[in-house]
Amino acid sequence: MFCNGTLTRFGNIQMCPSSGILNYGQGLFEGLKAYRKEDEGILLFRTEENALRMKVGADRMCMPSPTVDQFIDAVKKTVLANKRWVPPHGRGSLYIRPLLMGTGRNLEVKPSSEYTFLVYASPVGNGLKGVLNLMVEDNVHRATPGGTGGIKAVTNYSPIYKPLTEAKAKGFSDLLYLDALTGSNIEECSGCNIFILKGNVISTPTTHGTILPGITRKSIMEIASGFGYQVEERAIPIKEVFDAEEVFCTGTAMIVKSVASITYQGKRIEYKLGAETLAQKLHATLTGIQTGVIEDKLGWTMVID
Interface residue list for a second copy (CB under 8 A)? 10, 12-18, 20-27, 29, 60-62, 95, 97, 99, 101-102, 107, 109-111, 118, 120, 122, 139-141, 144-148, 153-159, 161-165, 180-181, 190-191
Tell the smallest beta-carbon distance from residue 176 to a second copy (Å): 15
Tell the smallest beta-carbon distance from residue 63 to a second copy (Å): 9
Angle 228-232-233 from CA coordinates, rounded to 5°? 145
Q: Of 87 and 147, which CB lies nearer to a second copy in the complex structure?
A: 147
Question: What is the DSSP code string of 70-139?
Answer: HHHHHHHHHHHHTGGGSPPTTS-EEEEEEEEEE-SB--SSS--S-EEEEEEEEEE-S-----EEEEEESS
Quick one: 11 exposed, middle or buried, by C-beta within 10 A (0-12, 13-18, 19+)? exposed
Q: How many CA atoms lie within 13 A of 92 on its CB side?
A: 13
Q: Of 93 and 277, which CB lies nearer to a second copy in the complex structure?
A: 93
Question: What is the DSSP code string of 268-294?
Answer: EEE---STTSHHHHHHHHHHHHHTTSS
Q: Of 150 and 292, which CB lies nearer to a second copy in the complex structure?
A: 150
Is-contact 227 281, C-beta < 8 A? yes
Tell the smallest beta-carbon distance from residue 42 to a second copy (Å): 20
Tell the smallest beta-carbon distance from residue 202 to a second copy (Å): 25
Catalytic annotation present for 152: yes
Catalytic residue among 129, 152, 218, 267: 152
Tell the smallest beta-carbon distance from residue 99 to a second copy (Å): 6
Is-contact 78 96, C-beta < 8 A? yes
Cβ within 8 Å of residue 250, ≥6 positions away: 192, 193, 194, 195, 214, 216, 217, 220, 256, 257
Q: Of 27 and 205, which CB lies nearer to a second copy in the complex structure?
A: 27
Q: Of 180 and 284, which CB lies nearer to a second copy in the complex structure?
A: 180
Residues labelled as active-site residues: 152
